Amino acid sequence: MCPHALIPFKPSGSKSRLSGLLSLEEREAFARAMLDDVIAAVKDVNCRPVIIATELYDSEDIQVTIADKDLSGALNEVLSQGAGPVLIIMADIPLANGQAIRRVISTQSDIAIVPGRGGGTNAIFIQDPTKFRVDYYGMSFLKHAKIAKDMGLSCEVVDSFLLHTDIDEEEDLVELLTHGEGKSRKYLEDLGFILSAEDGRVKIMRESPRSNQ
Amino acid sequence: MCPHALIPFKPSGSKSRLSGLLSLEEREAFARAMLDDVIAAVKDVNCRPVIIATELYDSEDIQVTIADKDLSGALNEVLSQGAGPVLIIMADIPLANGQAIRRVISTQSDIAIVPGRGGGTNAIFIQDPTKFRVDYYGMSFLKHAKIAKDMGLSCEVVDSFLLHTDIDEEEDLVELLTHGEGKSRKYLEDLGFILSAEDGRVKIMRESPRSNQ
């Protein structure tokens, strides 16, 4: 039990598709708040979080590993070390909670995958990491399902919208303001973002001027 | 057991946000294929489908009720008749399968809600329909959660991306071509749609000329 939870994280310049709404500084603070929400969720089910960062990143109490190669390469190097079951979970899925993650790590299959929106992989749980390798970017969900099949591993697809919802674009913030319960939702609300339902479609609006906290 | 599954359906002019990709005729055929997928899923768990159509619609073996008022009004009229537990499920969530719907109708709460993307409600299960009323459009998920609370009913939010994913826009078709298993996926594939991963982001492309089947 107590699998490691590897959390890839890009501290600088992330979430560029939100640049119409948030400044660079705000986007980076927002990305950190989402990371904190994911860390809280994995801790809630006794996983041991390890941040796989693309550059130096200070975290008070979480182990940080700097990835000196591409994401898949860095993760596969960790997997090859084979120290028990591993969960890999993205840092931009702040709706994650313990209950959803428990469904993933309690799989009876060799592998459990939670697809992300747009063909990606938002979480993957690997019982024996020496038998699997990851291949992110593009249609990674289909790639991971195929890798499992090719390696003769059973694979469960976990049906969770909380883990499926990665926050990349403006409309994704509607999900966070509707369902979020953590720091990243509060961060948006402190900036003045609210939900608005004009002509039946729900959008987000920024109500007050930017706070300077 | 065997709750009724009410399925609101608009036979004509639906899915206008796909008009950049599909002709009116194709959109209507696509909407019918999605409806068929939803019907197959509810039948798989022994729910009795009833189509709540906005206009005359022929269905070989499914009961069709014509709604002569707005959607919420029409549904509330059915609910007030109080003939046992009722599932209301949208016609544009073709990833729905029996396993996901079983999680909804086996709730231990008075109400189970599956949020749709963008603040909506894609499925709602009501143990005693005389005690609840629906209020669709806009932020209906939050409205339904509040109605349940105001009426003193316990409410479970079911965490399913298969039921969360309504097909409205071009990018939603990526989900259908990635995860779909029914008629609506096949309909898109027969029209020549495929997945494409350029610059890491997955999109859909139309490969062959339109078939005329």
Per-residue pLDDT band at B213 (split at 50, 70, 90): very low
CB A114 within 8 A of CB A158: yes
Chain-chain contact of B138 with A178 (C-beta, under 8 angstroms):
no
Q: In this model, does residue A88 exceed pLDDT 90? A: yes
Give, rounded to a whole angstrom, the gap between the first and last alpha carbons of chain B.
40
Distance CA B163, CA B115 (A): 8
Taking the CA atoms of B88, A96, A139 and A20 in sequence, report the sign of the dihedral they define: positive
Which of B157, B159, B193 should be substituted to probe chain A, the one whose Cβ sees the most A Cβ atoms within 10 Å? B159
Averaged over A76-85, what is the pLDDT? 91
Averaged over B154-176, what is the pLDDT? 97
Report pLDDT for A213.
Answer: 46
Question: B194 at the A interface (CB within 8 A)?
Answer: no
* CA distance, residue B173 to nearest chain A CA (Å): 9
Chain-chain contact of B141 with A99 (C-beta, under 8 angstroms):
no
Q: In this model, does residue B96 exceed pLDDT 90? A: yes
Quote the mean pLDDT of chain A. 93
**Most confident segment among A70-74, A205-209, B175-179, B196-200:** B175-179
pTM of the complete model: 0.95
User: In a 3-state reduction of DSSP, which class is residue A171?
Assistant: coil
Say how many residues make up chain A: 213
pLDDT digits (tens, 9 = 90+) for B21-53: 999 999 999 999 999 999 999 999 999 999 999
Report pLDDT for B68.
Answer: 75
Report pLDDT for B170.
Answer: 94
**Residue B81 neighbours by CB distance under 10 Å:** 10
Question: A205 at the B interface (CB within 8 A)?
Answer: no
Maximum alpha-carbon separation in chain B? 55
User: In a 3-state reduction of DSSP, which class is residue A53?
Assistant: strand
Report pLDDT for B63.
Answer: 86
Residue reference for tokens 């003769």: A152
Residue of A nearest to B200 (CA): A138
Token readout for B88 is: 């209301």
Per-residue pLDDT band at A15 (split at 50, 70, 90): very high
Is this prediction's ipTM beyond 0.90? Answer: yes
Per-residue pLDDT band at A211 (split at 50, 70, 90): low
Q: Please, what's the b/e burial string for A16-38 (b: 16 or more CB within 10 A of its CB; e: otherwise)?
A: eebeebbeeebbbebbbbbbbbb
> Which member of A119, A159, A171 has the closest CB to residue B160?
A159
Q: In this model, does residue A110 exceed pLDDT 50? A: yes
Averaged over A85-111, what is the pLDDT? 98
CB A170 within 8 A of CB A18: yes
Put simply, the chain A residues between 129 and 168 with a CB less than 8 A from any chain B CB are 137-139, 141-142, 157, 159-165
pLDDT digits (tens, 9 = 90+) for B99-128: 999 999 999 999 999 999 999 999 999 999
Helices (H), chain A: 24-44, 71-81, 98-105, 140-150, 161-164, 172-179, 183-190
Report pLDDT for B209.
Answer: 55
pLDDT digits (tens, 9 = 90+) for A143-153: 999 999 999 99
pLDDT digits (tens, 9 = 90+) for A35-69: 999 999 999 999 999 999 988 888 878 888 888 77
Minimum mean pLDDT among B38-52, B62-76, B89-103: which range?
B62-76
Percent of chain B with pLDDT over 90: 82
Averaged over A206-213, what is the pLDDT? 63
Distance CA A125, CA B191 (A): 36
Chain-chain contact of A159 with B117 (C-beta, under 8 angstroms):
no
Per-residue pLDDT band at A1 (split at 50, 70, 90): low
